[in-house]
Structure 1
Amino acid sequence: MPVLERDPWRVQYFETVQCPDHVAIPTDDPDCWTLFPGHRWIYDKLRVAETQGLTAGPHGVIPPSFPVFSKPITNLKGMGLGSRIIRSTEEMDHHYRPGHMWMPLLMGQHVSTDCAVENGCIVWLRHATGLPWDDGMFRYWTVHGASFAEIARHLASWVEANMAGYTGMMNFETIGGTIIEAHLRFADQWCDLYGEGWVEALVRLYAEGRWVFEDAERRDGFSMPLFARHGHSFRHPPEALQAEVRSAPGVRSLQITFHEDKPPEDHAMPPGGFRLAVINATSLDAARAARRRLATAWDPALLLAQD
C-alpha cells in the first residue's frame, strides 16, 4: 500500500492501488515532518502568520490590541489543543503558555482545502466546509465541486512564494481567506469523494512528480458522522449491516472510526461526543438514510440525535 495510513478504517481507500516500493505518501503530520525536512517549517504557525503579513507573536509579547486568538506555535497531534480567544492583557497574563502564540481573531468561513502541488505550483485543489454543531462536533462536511476563487488565488500565490521545489499534496485551513494551518498532506477522510482515479493520480504525483487527473465532472460530496455519548464502550456493527450500508444508493464509503479493543477515553474525540462512524455519500439524503440504518446497531439512548 503506497499510503502511510494510521487509521485502519481509511486503509480501504488505498489498499488496492499499485505503487512503486520506494514511494511513501503521508497522511499524518509526524510522518510529514520526517519525510520533508526542507519544508517542515510550515508547521511553525507563527511563521505562517508572518508570511501573510499578520501581526502575531509568542506568548510573553503583548499584542498591540485585543481580542486575539491564542494557539500552540507547533503541535503535530491535536492541532487546536489549548486554543482560545484572549480579550485583554489580564487574560493574556492568566493564560500564558510556553510555546503558544497569538494572532488576529479572524472572521469568516472556515475552509479546508486539499491541493496537489507540482514543483511549487498548485495544479489541483478542492475545498471542504463543515457545518458546526456543538463542543467540537460537526453535523457534516461538504466537499465542494465548485472552486472558491479568492481562496484559490491566495493559496496559489502563497505556495509559489513559499514552497519552491516542493512536489506533493498540501492541506490548508483558512478563515476568511487567511491561512491559519498548513500541512504537507491531504485530508484522508473523504478522498473517495474526489472522483474515480484520484488515488491513482495521487500515487503518480509522488512516484513521477506529475499530476494527471481527469476532473471535469466534479460534484459536491458529503461526509456525515454518527456520534454517541461519552462514557460508554461500543462494539462494531455486524459485518452484514456494514455491507448493507456500503451498498446503499449514493453511499461511497463507510468508516467505523473507533477501536473495539481500546478504552473509549483513549480515543481522540471532540468534547461533545464519541464518533462511531463516518459515511461518505454523493447526497445528504443518501448520507442521512445510511446513518439511520447504521444507527440501529447501537442502543438509541446512547446516540446523539443529529437529524
Structure 2
Amino acid sequence: MQVPIREIDPWRAQYFEKVNCPADVFIPTEDSDAWLWNPRHRWVYDKLAVATCQGLEAAPHGIRPPRYPVFSKPIYNLKGMGVGSRTLYSAADYDAAYQPGHMWMPLLLGEHVSSDVALVDGVPRWWGHANGIPGKDGTFDYWEVHAGSESVIESTAGAWCRHHLAGYTGMANLETIGGRIIEVHLRFADQWPDLYGSGWVEALVRLYECRDWTFADHVEKPGYSVVLFLPHGRRYRHPPAVLVNQVRAMAGVSSVQISFHESVAPDRHAMPPGGFRVAIVNCWNLEAGTKARALLRDHFTA
C-alpha cells in the first residue's frame, strides 16, 4: 500500500495512512509540490496577479499606496502561516515595512473563509468551507468547518475557477475575505480532512486517479479545528503519548495534531507573528475542543 498524500508533516499522516492508492498517483498537500507538479496553473501562487485579476487595487512595494490602510504581504509565500504579512496604516508604516518581493492590496473586511473545492477541468464538483476566528497578529483561535453551502463564494469563486483554472483537475484551496479571493493553492487544507466525513479521502484519491468526483454535495455536519498557539522564544517539547491519547479519547474530539517538529529549531518553523503553533484539536463540539486545548496548554506551560 502506498500512502496517497505527499505529506511532509507527520502529525497529518494519520488522515491518509489507511487509504490505498496507485503508485503513480501523486496528491500534494504542500504548495511546493503543487507548484512543481502544475506548471500550467502555478501562476495562481502570485498573489499580486490574483488580486489584480479581480480588479483589486494592488502593487508591489516600490509603488506607494494612494491611500491607507492597506494589507502588505509577500507576493509569493509557499510556506503559508501568514509569514511577513501586516497591516500598514500610514506612509510611515509603508516606509518602515518596505521589502523587495512584497506587495500591498486593500485591507478587506468581512469573514475570512478557507474553501476547498474539487475541480474537474476547472469546474467545481464539491465545496467544503471553514471560517477562521482570528486571534492576535495573524493567528487563529479556531476554524469552524461549515455544514452546507456558501452561495456567494460558490458563485463568485466558482466562476473564477471556471475561467482561470480551466484544464485543471484536482483540489484547490481558496482563501477569501468578504467573498474576494486573497490566496489560491493547488491543494486542499490538510488540517481537517477528518471533519469532511467518512469516505472523503477515498473520493480525493479517485479525483486524481480517475479525473472524477463521487462524494456528497456538501459537508454534512459542522466541525471545529481548535488551535493552540503559545509565545515565541521557547523550545517546546511534545507531550507524552498517554496525554495525547487521553485528549483524543475525549467525547466530541475527532483527532489531535502536535503540530511542530521537536527536533527543528523554533525559528526554522513558518509561524505568524502572534505565536508558535504547538497543537490542533479537531472536534465535533467546540466546548470539547476548548477543554482538550486547555489540557494540552497545561502541559506546555507547566
Going from structure 1 to structure 2, the CA distance change for 1:150 and 1:216 (only over 3 Å counts) comes to closer
Tell me, in whole angstroms, the C-alpha distance in 2 between the residues paired with 1:80 and 1:217: 26
Shift of 1:216: 6.3
Residue 60 (str. 1) matches residue 94 (str. 2): no
Tell me, in whole angstroms, the C-alpha distance in 2 between the residues paired with 1:295 and 1:84: 27
Secondary structure in 1 aligned to 2:280? Answer: strand
Segments ≥4 residues shifted beyond 6 Å = none
Name 1:183's counterpart in structure 2: 185
Secondary structure in 1 aligned to 2:41? Answer: helix
User: Quick check: 2:69–2:107 contact (8 Å CA) kept in 1?
Assistant: yes
Which residue among 268, 271, 274 is the counterpart of 2:273?
271
Name 2:254's counterpart in structure 1: 252
Q: Tell me which moved more, 135-144 or 179-188.
A: 135-144
Tell me, in whole angstroms, the C-alpha distance in 2 between the residues paired with 1:298 and 1:88: 38
What does 1:132-281 align with in structure 2 at a 5 Å threshold?
Answer: 132-215=134-217, 218-281=220-283
Unaligned runs of 5+ in 2: none
Tell me, in whole angstroms, the C-alpha distance in 2 between the residues paired with 1:58 and 1:216: 38
Q: Tell me which moved more, 231-240 or 11-20.
A: 231-240
User: Quick check: 2:126–2:218 contact (8 Å CA) kept in 1?
Assistant: no
User: Quick check: 1:72–1:80 contact (8 Å CA) kept in 2?
Assistant: no
What does 1:32-181 align with in structure 2 at a 5 Å threshold?
Answer: 32-78=34-80, 80-89=82-91, 91-181=93-183
Shift of 1:248: 1.9
Going from structure 1 to structure 2, the CA distance change for 1:258 and 1:57 (only over 3 Å counts) comes to closer
Amino acid at match of 2:175: E
Q: Tell me which moved more, 286-295 or 132-141.
A: 286-295
Shift of 1:64: 4.2
Which residue among 278, 287, 290 is the counterpart of 2:289?
287
Shift of 1:293: 3.5
Q: Tell me which moved more, 290-299 or 238-247.
A: 290-299
Larger Cα Rg: Structure 1 or Structure 2? Answer: 1
Secondary structure in 1 aligned to 2:239? Answer: coil
Secondary structure in 2 aligned to 1:207? Answer: helix
Amino acid at match of 2:173: N
Tell me, in whole angstroms, the C-alpha distance in 1 between the residues paired with 2:254 and 2:106: 39
Amino acid at match of 2:137: D
CA-to-partner distance for each residue in 1:162-201, whole Å, 9 max, x for gaps?
1111000001111111111111011101111000000001
- Structure 1 length normalisation: TM-score? 0.90
Going from structure 1 to structure 2, the CA distance change for 1:289 and 1:101 (only over 3 Å counts) comes to closer
Name 1:8's counterpart in structure 2: 10
Tell me, in whole angstroms, the C-alpha distance in 2 between the residues paired with 1:271 and 1:114: 25
User: Quick check: 2:79–2:270 contact (8 Å CA) kept in 1?
Assistant: no
Shift of 1:133: 1.9
Shift of 1:137: 2.4
Tell me, in whole angstroms, the C-alpha distance in 2 between the residues paired with 1:28 and 1:96: 28
Shift of 1:275: 2.4
CA-to-partner distance for each residue in 1:283-303, whole Å, 9 max, x for gaps?
112212323344453444xxx
Q: Tell me which moved more, 217-226 or 199-208.
A: 217-226
What does 1:21-36 align with in structure 2 at a 5 Å threshold?
Answer: 21-36=23-38
Name 1:303's counterpart in structure 2: none
Tell me, in whole angstroms, the C-alpha distance in 2 between the residues paired with 1:55 and 1:299: 44
Shift of 1:139: 1.7
Secondary structure in 2 aligned to 1:38? Answer: coil
- Structure 2 length normalisation: TM-score? 0.91
Unaligned runs of 5+ in 1: 301-307
User: Quick check: 2:256–2:281 contact (8 Å CA) kept in 1?
Assistant: yes
Going from structure 1 to structure 2, the CA distance change for 1:131 and 1:151 (only over 3 Å counts) comes to same
Tell me, in whole angstroms, the C-alpha distance in 2 between the residues paired with 1:216 and 1:69: 32
RMSD value, Cα: 2.1
